[in-house]
Amino acid sequence: MHLRTAALVALLGASPPSFAQTPQTGNVFNPNISAIGDFLASTGHNEVNPMPSLALHEAELGLQAIVDPYARGDFFFTFGTESGDVGVEEAYITFLNLPGEFLLKAGKLTGAFGKLNTQHLHTRLFADVPLPMQNLLGSEDGIDDSGISISHLIPAPAGIFLEGTAQLFRGTTENLFYAYTRSDVEPLFHLKGYGDLSESSNVEIGVSWTRGSNLQGPGFHTTLMGLDATFRWKPLRQGLYRSLIVQAEFYLSEQQMPGGTVRANGFYALAQYQLGRRWFAGYRYDQSEHADNASLRDRGNSVMVTFWPSEFSQIRAQWRQVRYELTTGTSPASELILQLQFSIGAHGAHAF
Amino acid sequence: MKKTLLLAAALLAFLAPAPARAARKLRIVTTLSDFASLAETVGGDRVEATSLAKGYQDPHFAEPKPSFILKLHDADLLIVAGLELEIGYLPPLLDQARNNAVHPTGKGYLDASVGCEILEKPTGQVTRAMGDVHPYGNPHYWLDPANGRVIARAIATKLADLDPDGKAVFGRNLAAFEARLAEAEARWARALAPYGGTKVVTYHSSWPNFAKYFKLDVVGYLEPKPGIPPTPHHKLEIINLMLEKKVPLILMEVYFDRKDPDFIASKTGAKVVMIPPSVGGVPEAKDYVSLFDFDVGAIVRALGGK
């Protein structure tokens, strides 16, 4: 053993092995690491979908880095308060330079269905999700599944950004889709158009479509269609102090059930206005039928105020009133939700 | 099978980018209007340059608009400030631009900070308790004309790499710019000569290179920490500091709110000078040299000169 070491040293000459010289290279290639906490407190009355009084609703861990000259990798793990409440929210590779200017993603990713479905919790403007997402997209997490995604820029008149995305998922999403066999894959298509109206305002419009096997049993499908529209205003000179976002989404669900197909729809419309450098106020109206019973329609109203102590933390208060319709009658709810979000580390910037 | 392959080949051929035409101007996208101005000065009519951020906008907070993706998709050269100034919007744009050339490892990418004098590089541990600090140093380095010269030279070298036929033109344009800059530097030095060492308070820490070059002494900031707006307590501290040190000037960027600086000025007798940190921040700041003409002129007037 000693002899072998001696031989090695002789082989290398006077200098020690190279790994001893560069102990830090491992850190250089570490990904950007970030953690974001979402803490919720709520009070008031809600018999249908109550939130806990106090909860670390979610902790998100992000690991992001360039994989190699061809691709980047993004991992987002989420942790809840209950034991075992751990999940891969997203984990995907993005090939940035494919021939034909395609952008290819593969892994677990959120479906490109409208706006809200692609947003992580901490980028949403309200503490909860609107009723149509809860009722028609399965849960507050929406369509989030293993699959592949390919997108391409579509030639358009000058200044118009037009992008088509086609995705293919395994076909299993909480409360929405279930792949009974390997052929129960879920295709999803999204078309996004964007244009600047001026240097301070712009409009984005999208249409989405997807179809998968639903939870009623093999052979039963749910088709979802979505329309989204967003208007943004931010005067560049006063951009630190003033901005406005108006956004609306409409979802249509066609769920095949043993008794026939249920067509249910829902929408939300929200506005957020920036009052000052760190203050934002917003209003949201939302309503949605139930995916399995279109004669029941829940309606909600919310107002919120958000304060950002810095770019890395935010405090939000939301007053939410909902009138749930149940087969047994209506159930009114009104709640005050307080949200505290805090972020550490290097979290990659989000797309628009 | 053969048919499918043929179809795929045809599709790929259709989608492949068309070969670049020789007569086409070099398309340059910059994050800051200052770099676009320098690139136009050096590139002349062989280039067309556009900047993502406007001169009257806070350069930290440009937004990742999809229309910028189109600009980057078509760009031959991207010039950035680096030092993480653009970290909040540029990476997602580049990821979607489908243009290898303008990625940091591509041949059409220029980090303008390379070779420039960078100030305020933090020593010791950096934490966000310090506010929105830049761990690689203060990114507002283009506000030093000496750095402007370094950037113009780097642009000339890069343009000659990308468009070898234009090398002589770029060399001539660069020489003309350097001569014009040297003349202007003499003019600014004369104008500011009586005011060397003047104490100033600035809103954000955007002016360390500017202050060093023009011999101003920055003694405080309206922001208690970078990125945190003035608090009542901090405003009081600044008022006391300005009275004690007899600070005659508050320098502020055009995109901040005047209310706090005006209030502090009313309590201290100081003058507020609202000046653009970038080309296009006011209509008079048409290019890199006239930016300093405007800023220097505003300071001289505020200090009672002509």
Residue B280 and residue B242 share a domain: yes
Which residue range is the domain that position B237 belongs to? 186-302
CA A111, CA A143: separation in Å to the nearest integer? 5
Name the one residue in this structure whose structure tokens are 């001696």: A6
Residue B10 falls inside a structural domain:
no
The 3-state DSSP class for residue B129 equals helix
Can you give the C-alpha Rg of chain B in angstroms? 22
Residue A74 falls inside a structural domain:
yes
- Boundary (domain end) residue, out of B140, B160, B184: B184
| Contact with chain B for residue A97, Cβ under 8 A | yes
**Per CB distance under 8 Å, which residues of B are interface residues toward A?**
11-12, 15-17, 54, 56-58, 61, 63-67, 69-70, 73, 87-92, 95-96, 98, 100, 103, 105, 128, 131-132, 227-229, 254-257
Q: Quick count: other Cβ atoms within 10 Å of Cβ A14?
A: 6
A269 min Cα distance to partner chain B (Å): 22
How many separate domains does chain A show? 1
Residue B158 and residue B87 share a domain: yes
Phi, psi (rounded to 5 degrees) for A267? -155, 165
Question: pLDDT tens string for chain A (352 positions)?
Answer: 344 444 444 444 444 444 444 455 567 889 999 999 999 999 999 999 998 999 999 999 999 999 998 999 999 999 988 888 899 999 999 998 899 989 999 999 999 999 999 999 889 999 999 999 999 999 999 999 999 999 999 999 988 999 999 999 999 999 999 999 999 999 999 999 999 999 999 999 999 999 999 999 999 999 999 999 999 999 999 999 999 999 999 999 999 999 999 999 999 999 999 999 999 999 999 999 999 999 999 999 999 999 999 989 999 999 999 999 999 999 999 999 999 999 999 888 888 8
| Contact with chain B for residue A238, Cβ under 8 A | yes
| Contact with chain B for residue A196, Cβ under 8 A | yes
With CB atoms and an 8 Å threshold, state whether A239 touches B256. Answer: no
pTM confidence score: 0.90
Which residue range is the domain that position A319 belongs to? 32-345
Residue A71 falls inside a structural domain:
yes
The three-state (H, E, C) secondary structure of chain A, written as one string: CHHHHHHHHHHHCCCCCHHHHCCCHHHHCCCEEEEEEEEEEEEEECCCCCCCCEEEEEEEEEEEEEEECCEEEEEEEEECCCCCCEEEEEEEEEECCCHHHCEEEEEEEECCCCCHHHCCHHHCCCCCCCHHHHHHCCCCCCCEEEEEEEEEECCCCCCEEEEEEEEEECCCECCCECCCCCCCCEEEEEEEEEEECCCCEEEEEEEEEEEEECCCCCCCEEEEEEEEEEEEECCCCCCCCCCEEEEEEEEEEEEEECCEEEEEEEEEEEEEEECCCCEEEEEEEEEEEECCEEEEEEEEEEEEEEEEEECCEEEEEEEEEEEEEECCEEEEEEEEEEEEEEEEECCCCCCC
Residue B9 falls inside a structural domain:
no
What CATH number should be reported for the domain holding residue B205?
A: 3.40.50.1980
Both structure tokens of A306: 């958000």
With CB atoms and an 8 Å threshold, state whether B67 touches A94. Answer: no
Q: Which has the closest alpha carbon to B159: B76, B100, B75?
A: B76
- Boundary (domain end) residue, out of B184, B201, B231: B184
Residue B273 falls inside a structural domain:
yes
B172 min Cα distance to partner chain A (Å): 34
Residue B180 and residue B190 share a domain: no
A349 min Cα distance to partner chain B (Å): 5
Residue B144 and residue B35 share a domain: yes
DSSP 8-state symbol, B57:
S
Reported as a single tens digit per residue, the pLDDT across B76-132 is 999 999 999 999 999 999 999 999 999 999 999 999 999 999 999 998 888 888 888
Residue B58 and residue B169 share a domain: yes
Residue B2 falls inside a structural domain:
no
Residue B16 falls inside a structural domain:
no
Residue B194 and residue B138 share a domain: no
Q: Which residue of B has its CA nearest to A234?
A: B63
A283 min Cα distance to partner chain B (Å): 23
What CATH number should be reported for the domain holding residue A99?
A: 2.40.160.10
Residue B141 falls inside a structural domain:
yes
Residue B171 and residue B48 share a domain: yes
Q: How remote is the C-alpha of A280 from its chain's centroid?
A: 21
Contacts with B290 (C-beta within 8 Å, 6 or more apart), sequence order: B284
With CB atoms and an 8 Å threshold, state whether B66 touches A161. Answer: yes
Q: Which of A161, A241, A278 sits opposite B257 (nearest CB)?
A: A241
Residue B148 and residue B247 share a domain: no
With CB atoms and an 8 Å threshold, state whether A236 touches B256. Answer: no
Window 55-74 of A: residues touching B by CB (8 A cutoff) are: 69, 72
Residue B176 and residue B225 share a domain: no
| Contact with chain B for residue A307, Cβ under 8 A | no
Which residues in chain A have Cβ-Cβ distances shorter than 8 Å to B227?
A: 310-311
Residue B113 falls inside a structural domain:
yes
Residue A27 falls inside a structural domain:
no
pLDDT of residue A351: 84
Residue A22 falls inside a structural domain:
no
pLDDT of residue A3: 43
Residue B31 and residue B95 share a domain: yes
Residue B272 and residue B201 share a domain: yes
The full length of chain B comes to: 306
ipTM of the complex in this document: 0.88
Both structure tokens of B263: 């209030």
CA A187, CA B22: separation in Å to the nearest integer? 43
- Boundary (domain end) residue, out of B133, B167, B184: B184
Residue B210 and residue B120 share a domain: no
Residue ranges with strand state E in B41-188: 47-51, 77-80, 109-111
How many separate domains does chain B show? 2
Mutate to test the interface with A, among B95, B252, B253 (most CBs of A within 10 A): B95
Q: Quick count: other Cβ atoms within 10 Å of Cβ B171?
A: 14
Residue A140 falls inside a structural domain:
yes
Reported as a single tens digit per residue, the pLDDT across B22-73 is 568 999 999 999 999 999 999 999 999 999 999 999 999 999 999 999 999 9
Output b/e per residue, A96-117; b: 16+ Cβ within 10 A: beeeebebebebbbbbbbbbbb
Q: Which residue of A has its CA nearest to B64?
A: A352
Residue B6 falls inside a structural domain:
no
